[in-house]
Structure 1
Amino acid sequence: MLHSQDLRLSDSHELASAAEGGQLSAALLIDDEIVRYGMEWRTDGSAAILKFAPEIEQRFEADTRVERSRELRLTIAFGIGFYLLTGVTDFVLVPDVGASAQGIKALVAALIVIPVLFVARLPPRVREIIATFVAILAITSLATIANSSSAPLAPFSFVTAALALIYANTTFPLQFRYAVVCSAACCGVMSLELYLNSEIGTALSCMLAFQTLVGGTFSLITSYRIERSTRLSYLLSSREGLRLQMLAAERERLTALSNTDELTGLVNRRHFDRESAAALSSSTNAGKDVALLFIDVDHFKRYNDHYGHHAGDGCLRAVASAISEALRGTDTMAARYGGEEFAILLLDVTQAESQMIADRVCRSVSARSLQHLNRKDSLNLVTISVGVACGSIGGGITLDGLIESADIALYAAKRGGRNRVQFNLAQAAA
């Protein structure tokens, strides 16, 4: 079946140009970010900043939001499992508070589960703040449990909290700036608890605090590199995606241009012939009625001679616009066929319907009231003559046959006085 054609393509060209302009702007911003990310932070401090330009940052969040939410749900769930499994070590390291430790962990785990259920619906900043709070809550609770025990092996329980901090920074992973906040808060709380715990010697407290600080620092370096790599990968993939989109848009634009008559905006003869031949040979259209309207601007040579070729071009554009307006809302294809000739292919329409459409096209052109004072008759307006060939698809009907039949009808319309519609009744009966 013949698909609806865009009779005048200038609007679509403007929209395509605007869309392409937006893509180009985004591509340039992305290129700038890639250049910045490729710099050494020692030569340009901005290269170390893990934040895009505002427009790219918004795109980044929009494009990665679903994946980030899914990642947080998965790693939080895995983290809860790790958090609860540390209860096994509690009965070895802090047996005197083992039962209460399990109660604390159960309560904390329950509190952590609640935001997990809604993480996908939260704004980005709120989502990351809650993730950071969850990490701080879990880590500090482990440190508090270790600090509340007087068992001989209780200091080693601080190692569990340090491992949880490393997990938050590298496996969760928290965004780097939030990982810094989490690390500072947790290291501060753990150092304070070690300092206040009189049962742990100063040397051991300092060693545990130092190990926690080193682990936190190393995990922050890893967090930074993970986020930087993620962001750079996003920039590179986005640039490639935009390039592909721009290439596709350019191909579409060039295809449209190659199929379009530059003067009128209608499809050109080559495209019309190709699409019409395909429609007539399609098995899905077999048996359907078809009509070909061949249109010629009356006394166009005399119009050019009188008003000049520039005015003649304006006349053809006005006629094309009138044809498009008359065909709006119909499943048709109109073309500038050459010079002052136009062609319209109608599918699945009866002879009466094609007569109605042809008359509407004639009236639409006349309604433009384009002055033509060099006619041989007394109309003094630009008009058209229409030849219509009708038939049924199948039985050997061809585009060449329809064109020949419509051309005969067109000349009959001109001999009959112009500004009229003439059917090739022999073709209609065939």
Structure 2
Amino acid sequence: MHSNDSGAGRIYQPTLDWLLRFDRQTEERYEAEHGAERVEQLRNAIVFGVLLYVLHGISKAALFPGSLEIILLVTTFVVIPFAVSYYWRMGSMSHALRENVMLIGLSISTVLPVYMMYNPSYGIGVYANVDVLICIIFGNVLVTLRFKHAFFYTLATLCFPVLAIMTNAEIDPGLRKALSFQFATVCIICLYANYLFERRRCMDYCASLEALMRAEAAESSEKQFQVMSKTDSLTGLPNRRFLDEQLDEWASDDRPAAVMMIDIDHFKLFNDTLGHPAGDECLKTIADAFTEAFDQPDLFCARFGGEEFTLAARDVDELQARRLASAVVAAIEGLAIPHPGRNDGLGIVTISVGVALKPANVVTTRETVLTHADEALYLAKRRGRNRFVFSEEVSDSPLLVSS
């Protein structure tokens, strides 16, 4: 497949060669979508074809009295066993093998009438040309061989009967030319009809597939845009927009939750001492630590803004929230990121955490929960940083009111 650059992204387009063959990827996709339908079509064609072959064999035996034995042998021991075996096994064949075996079956059905045209012992065997013409029409129009098979089958079916006619001394020279022209005309008409059928099938599928892939690309781009619009570009964490949407939902239901406001201690001094690029790297390192350590269901960490993060957990009680807050503080301290600008003697990056609990069966608002957590955060800083504080410890903090 080849591709075009489109506004939404890279769009892959199916291709066809002069024999109307799909590229490999498109062929596999087409088979996955339409293989069962093709099997059903071929099975119906086999039943009809065998019935037609048997009935035509009866009329042929009446026309060529000496041919009854060979017609019975070929029909009984070649055509029917081949058709029955193919009928039952084609569902388990690959698409390439299935089409190749169909081509072989049509070729087998053509051998006997061609032989009768060639062998002078049948006298009027030249009139077996009708059988060959029926095979050509059957293969190109009813079975609708894939065009690459139809092309070579029709070419071979034209060459061998014409060769049989031209080498049969029992046929009048003028009749030889007329029969050869007749064969060529029918072959060209049937092959062209097959080409039109196959081209329409392929072009319709290519058009529908390209439209589908464009729609899928557009949907993928839209989803990617939605993800990007809710992701912080520096840290890769969810951004404030995602945080607000999630907390609006969590605050308004009956399930318990804990919300933690997290601030990097003395981060301005970090930037003043090491520079803003180093500050950005520090933020990314901390964000990666949050992602790795606290990637659990109903728990997420988002960048609130600047050097502040928010960690929210659902379905936790106070004890679980304290353990989680302690783990958050310890995880960042454990990174041991050097902080030469600190004047409190620690020398590494630490965080302060304010925790607000929303009990079960309490409905509140995002703003209220964040306010509680923020007030607790400032108390943690006043107490010396590198610690966590619960909002209940803030004496002037209003209680969360149940609905």
TM (norm. structure 1) is 0.78
Q: Is the 8 A contact 1:409 1:424 kept in 2?
A: yes
Q: Give the aligned partner of residue 129 of structure 1.
A: 100
Displacement of 1:156: 4.7
Asked if residue 362 in structure 1 is aligned to residue 362 in structure 2, the reply is: no
Go from structure 1 to structure 2 and tell me whether the alpha carbon gap of 1:244 and 1:116 turns closer, same or farther (over 3 Å shift). same
Deviation at 1:209, TM superposition (A): 3.8
- Relative to structure 1, the CA distance from residue 25 to residue 396 in structure 2 (aligned partners, 3 Å threshold; closer, same or farther) is closer
What whole-Å deviation, never above 9, does each CA across 1:379-404 have from its counterpart, x for those lacking one?
11110011111122433332222212
Cα shift readout 1:337-372 (whole Å, capped 9, x = no counterpart): 122211111011222222222222212211221122
- Gapped regions of structure 1 (runs ≥ 5): 1-19, 38-47
Aligned residue number for residue 388 of structure 1: 355
Letter in 2 for 1:263: L
Code of the residue aligned with 2:161 in structure 1: it is: M
Q: Deviations over 1:139-196 (max 9, x none)?
A: 3335557888989986555323312212212332222232222123323343354456
Moved more, 342-351 or 195-204: 195-204
Instruction: State which of 101, 105, 110 in structure 1 corresponds to 2:71.
Output: 101
Match of 1:339 in 2: 306
Give the C-alpha shift of residue 244 in structure 1: 1.8
Asked whether the 8 Å contact 1:169–1:223 carries over to 2, the reply is: yes
> Is structure 2 residue 52 aligned with structure 1 residue 85?
yes
Work out the CA distance in 1 between the residues paired with 2:167 and 2:314: 90
Cα distance in 2, alignment partners of residues 78 and 412 from structure 1: 84
Task: Give the corresponding residue for 1:315.
Answer: 282
Aligned counterparts of 2:199 and 2:279: Cα–Cα separation in 1: 62
1:224 and 2:195 aligned: yes
Aligned equivalent of 1:74? 41
AA aligned to 2:148 is R
Deviations 1:18-48 (A, max 9, x none): xx99x96662x65xx5xxx7xxxxxxxxxx7
**Residue correspondence of structure 1 range 134-283 to structure 2 within 5 A:** 134-144=105-115, 156-194=127-165, 201-204=172-175, 206-282=177-253
Whole-Å separation in 2 of the counterparts to 1:290 and 1:193: 89
Distance 1:232 1:118, change over 3 A: same
| TM-score, structure 2 as length reference | 0.83
CA distance in 2: counterparts of 1:244 and 1:419, whole angstroms? 51
The aligned amino acid for 1:57 is D
**How far, CA to CA, are the matches of 2:9 and 2:72 in structure 1?**
57
Q: 1:400 and 2:371 equivalent? A: no
Question: Distance in 2 between the 1:124 and 1:78 partners?
Answer: 17
Aligned partner of 2:28 in structure 1 is: 62
Report SS of the residue matched to 1:372.
coil
Q: Take 2:262 and 2:175, find their aligned partners in 1: how far apart are those partners?
A: 99
Write the deviation string for residues 27-84 of structure 1: whole angstroms up to 9, x where unpaired: 2x65xx5xxx7xxxxxxxxxx72366xxx61112211224246425523532442332
The within-5 A match list for 1:368-383 is 368-383=335-350
Which runs of 5 or more residues in structure 2 are unaligned? Answer: 394-398
- Contact persistence 1:272–1:333 (CA under 8 A): no
Q: Output the CA distance in 1 between the equivalents of 2:173 and 2:40.
A: 40
Residue 15 (structure 1) aligns with: none
Letter in 2 for 1:191: V
Aligned length: 387
- The answer for the alignment partner of 1:45 in structure 2 is none
- How many Å separate the matches in 1 of 2:49 and 2:147? 22
- Give 1:322 shift: 1.9
- 1:133–1:149 CA distance, 2 compared to 1 (3 A): same
Contact 1:365 1:382 in 2 (8 A): yes
